[in-house]
Amino acid sequence: MNAIFKNIKGDKALWAVVALLALFSFLPVYSASSNLAYLYGDGNTLKFLIKHASHLFLGFAIIYGVHRMPYHYFKGLSIIMIPIVLVFLAYTLAQGNTIGGANASRWMRIPFVGIRFQTSTLASVVLLMYVARYLSRVKDKVVNFKETIVPLWIPVFLVVGLILPANFSTAAIIFSMVLMLCFLGGYPWKYLLGIIGVGLLSLTMFILAAKAFPSAFPNRVDTWVKRIENFSSNEKSEANYQIERAKIAIASGGLVGVGSGKSVMKNLLPQSSSDFIYAIIVEEYGLIGALSLLFLYLLLLFRIVIVAHKADTIFGKLLAIGVGLPIVFQALINMAVAVELFPVTGQTLPLISSGGTSIWMTCLAIGIVLSVSKKREELLEQKEKEENPLAVLSEAL
């Protein structure tokens, strides 16, 4: 154990925030799992807690393994992984799974293991790594839009296009994060406006195609429209019962909450351990718990920005922001949905919600950010050794 802690490098505050989020997640996940235990009929909530613990254990193993890698390795890995991710996404979409008549081709089953894997979460991390690599190469150069179409925008539109039919919210988040990263990376804003226009035109064409050929995209566009209509409507209906029950849970929480494990709405609110876990947290821990959790995510954002600011290369800066910012962005969207600031999106609360893929890909992104911060520590240690060789000699003796 001491050897492991000795080899933990990178931003210690970032490690602490991630550990606090992971530790806190056990309480709401265990509480909300009673709903799942009831649905499966055996009433055993302990197995869901053990499952969540195993997901987090593997997640922290991913953080540890990834943060030990030199971050410049991710340049080459992103090139290798882009075609692999495209194959995964195409295979996942081709499965044609439906839930309630709607296209839900989001998961790929790993052969011989029996684990379902949500390919879009891996695609998000890989694509942002790839974009960071490309932008670092053209930094301080005159950018010609035509020269960026093939190496930059075709991979972006292929990834987003393969995710869009089954998961509009994830596709929109990825596209927004790419645009944000390009803006921070110095990509000309006039070209970005053109890309936004192309994106909106492509979305319009997809919607028209889905309406013209409904069998190809079962009810997906109708689902998007209904969610927006339910969000904009003040009338109560069966269609927006999730939000109504989430609001009841939040209203029941008050200042300090009803107490850990004492939520009532966890038994009535679908996806109470994943998509709507924030509502259960507010019900059990009140406004104090809700704001404390929000503070941890904002602190996570602050540390990511600090790591990016201190990175020794342009690629390191863009990489830390590119893979780190979507974690906080997704968390804010999840919270906004619970309090009815956003339509229902199906985004989980990073490191808190149950679900292996979400936890593992969040941990992969955090490991990459820590790898960037580790490099600065190594440079500072090397500089200190060069300036004080006597101290190094005495330590060796």
Predicted confidence (pLDDT) per residue in 297-307, tens digit:
999 999 999 99
Mean pLDDT of 353-379: 89
CB-based contacts of 131: which residues, under 8 Å, 6+ apart? 152, 156, 178, 181, 182, 185, 318, 322
pLDDT reported for residue 393: 47
Beta-strand relationship, 102-103 and 98-99: antiparallel
pLDDT reported for residue 101: 41
* C-beta atoms surrounding 75 within 10 Å: 17
State the residue for tokens 């972006």: 156
Hey, what are 249's tokens? 């849970």
Mean pLDDT of 54-83: 94
Mean pLDDT of 125-154: 92
pLDDT reported for residue 340: 84
Q: Which band of pLDDT confidence, cut at 50, 70 and 90, is reported for residue 236?
A: low
pLDDT tens column, 189-226: 999 999 999 999 999 888 888 777 766 665 566 666 67
* Euclidean distance between CA atoms 77 and 45, whole angstroms: 39
Long-range pairs for 193-199 at CB < 8 Å and ≥24 separation?
A: 194/145, 195/153, 198/157, 199/157, 199/160, 199/175
pLDDT tens column, 70-125: 999 999 999 999 999 999 999 888 875 544 444 445 777 766 556 777 889 999 99
Hey, what are 365's tokens? 């992104």
* C-beta atoms surrounding 276 within 10 Å: 27
Kindly tell me if the per-residue pLDDT of 286 is higher than 90. Answer: yes
* Euclidean distance between CA atoms 241 and 230, whole angstroms: 10
Kindly tell me if the per-residue pLDDT of 315 is higher than 80. Answer: yes
Mean pLDDT of 269-291: 89
Q: What percent of the chain has pLDDT over 90?
A: 50
Residue 315 and residue 75 in contact, taking contact as beta carbons nearer than 8 Å: yes
Alpha-carbon Rg for the chain in angstroms:
22
